[in-house]
Structure 1
Amino acid sequence: MLTLTQVKNKSAQRLTGLHPVVRSAATALIERCYKLNISILITQGLRTIAEQDALYAQGRTKPGAIVTNARGGYSYHNFGLAVDFALLLPNGSSVSWDMCRDGNNNQIADWQEVVKEAKGLGFEWGGDWTSFKDYPHFQMAFGLTLTQLRAGTKPSTSAVESAYKVINRKEEEELKSDVIAVVKVNGVKVADGVLEKGITYVPVRVIAEALGAQVGYDSATRTVEIISSH
């Protein structure tokens, strides 16, 4: 199985040129999906106008199937505000667009789990569109139309700040819900501890004093000393 670093490195090049918020959200999406035992690959990020026009020509004036209805300048990809993804298979080199695949065997399609995480991070999903559905597509419009973007309008500071809050809130909620453990001494709660990889972390002074001991700290040697009164 690939490590998280290896999975992230496979998408790193395609995150270049994205709006910083979109890049942060895409990175968080990779990380969150990995925690669900789902590896994803960002297959497309920033797409130039020329690249968009070439893609639009596919299935029209060039061989291949039609994959987009957007000409150059008519896709959020052209402004660094969108990404496409695929499921990264266990061999680490192949990808899948199978929306029914359940690679982590939890009776929920991996694709839908990725979509749920993406929406929680503030992405709009192309699969929700009513006309041309783009199932691998996520975007952040920041309230701007493509007409505004073509005219040079940039996401406002307030819109960017709001987007970051959504991303950070997901991480904060995860910390609160997953790693807090109540610590009791003789049946009395004395602190909230942090549970990580089976180990509960709690301030030593709180526990020591609850047991009737005194705590000292030697800054020179960086030593914590617990003196029992018993």
Structure 2
Amino acid sequence: MAQLTLEQIQKKSLNRLVGLHPVFKMALEKLIERCYARGVWVLIVQGLRTYVEQDALYAQGRTKPGQVVTKARGGYSNHNFGFAADFALLLRDGRTVSWDTLEDDDKDSLPDWSEVVEEAKKLGLEWGGDWRSFKDMPHLQMVFGLTTAQFRAGKRPSQAQLDTVLSKINKTEDEEMTAEEKAAFKELQNTVQKQADRIKVLEFAAKQPKVPTWAEQACINAKTAGVLDTANDGSYDFYRLVAILDRAGVFNKKGDK
């Protein structure tokens, strides 16, 4: 029987945490830590998935061999946006990964799976085993009430929602945070806010709600020439290209000099 340290257990999930939203990632890291304290070794076996990876998984049991494991195509799973993950149990031999929901490897009469779910819910995580239509027992997510349609449209949780989760992560049960913990928590809040601000800048650059003033005439010329149907919801690079082409005379009508 192997006796692994917390650090060794954490390292086994490290690669699957890459790309997840920072606050969701922290919740999973805390989950691993709390479960270890209860004698349960939990592994994160699935994290962020690209649309292509999601489509390949969706094809399993449909157009490809295997059992059906998901109802979601690419863009319709919370895995695609970094707010979902799947877990499994690592047994005491330190090698065997189990999805047995009745497994009790720490011999405390409570199934290890149930202990993971219990700790996950304390951290504000949603468990796929509670779903009515399609129970996904290894699935955990933190979507802040947002749908995949809203995620696809670029909507993300508010800072207030993130702060609520951060407080759960950083506060131990029945114990106030120390001055050092409060300082670390404040620094973490600032980091998350900076990341959220950066995301907003990138999203604005990728999709602007209206045509910039400096590109208005170029867009009008492009529409008059029949090159564009609409100039709405373009990116900065799109408007820049239209302006360059207009200056080069590409949108001049035949006969115009």
How many corresponding residue pairs? 174
Once residues 76 and 92 of structure 2 are traced to their aligned partners in structure 1, the CA distance between those partners, rounded to angstroms, is 35
SS of 1:86's equivalent in the other structure is strand
Tell me which residue corresponds to 2:73.
71
SS of 1:107's equivalent in the other structure is coil
Q: Does 1:6 align with 2:2?
A: no
Tell me which residue corresponds to 1:153.
155
Deviation at 1:89, TM superposition (A): 1.3
Deviation at 1:92, TM superposition (A): 1.8
> AA paired with 1:166?
K
Deviation at 1:175, TM superposition (A): 4.7
Tell me which residue corresponds to 1:31.
33
Map 1:87-98 onto structure 2 (within 5 A): 87-98=89-100
CA RMSD of aligned residues (A): 1.1
Residues 10 and 132 of structure 1: is their aligned pair in 2 closer, same or farther, counting only changes over 3 Å?
same
Deviation at 1:166, TM superposition (A): 2.0
More strand by share: 1
Q: Matched residues, percent identical?
A: 59
SS of 2:145's equivalent in the other structure is coil
Tell me which residue corresponds to 1:119.
121
Task: State the TM-score, normalizing by the size of structure 2.
Answer: 0.66
State which of 48, 51, 54 in structure 2 corresponds to 1:52: 54
- For residues 98-143 of structure 1, what are the alpha-carbon distances to aligned partners after superposition, in whole Å with 9 as ceiling and x for unaligned? 0001111111110001000000001000000000100000000112
- For residues 20-50 of structure 1, what are the alpha-carbon distances to aligned partners after superposition, in whole Å with 9 as ceiling and x for unaligned? 1111000000000000111011001111111
Map 1:1-230 onto structure 2 (within 5 A): 1-169=3-171, 171=172, 173=173, 175=175
Once residues 78 and 4 of structure 2 are traced to their aligned partners in structure 1, the CA distance between those partners, rounded to angstroms, is 31
Once residues 108 and 66 of structure 1 are traced to their aligned partners in structure 2, the CA distance between those partners, rounded to angstroms, is 30
Once residues 166 and 51 of structure 2 are traced to their aligned partners in structure 1, the CA distance between those partners, rounded to angstroms, is 27
Structure 1 unaligned spans of 5+: 177-230
More helix by share: 2
SS of 1:166's equivalent in the other structure is helix
Deviation at 1:154, TM superposition (A): 1.6
Once residues 134 and 26 of structure 1 are traced to their aligned partners in structure 2, the CA distance between those partners, rounded to angstroms, is 17
Once residues 12 and 122 of structure 1 are traced to their aligned partners in structure 2, the CA distance between those partners, rounded to angstroms, is 21
Deviation at 1:93, TM superposition (A): 2.0
Task: State the TM-score, normalizing by the size of structure 1.
Answer: 0.74
Once residues 123 and 154 of structure 2 are traced to their aligned partners in structure 1, the CA distance between those partners, rounded to angstroms, is 26
> AA paired with 1:68?
T
Deviation at 1:75, TM superposition (A): 0.8
Once residues 161 and 141 of structure 1 are traced to their aligned partners in structure 2, the CA distance between those partners, rounded to angstroms, is 14
Once residues 102 and 13 of structure 1 are traced to their aligned partners in structure 2, the CA distance between those partners, rounded to angstroms, is 26
SS of 1:12's equivalent in the other structure is helix
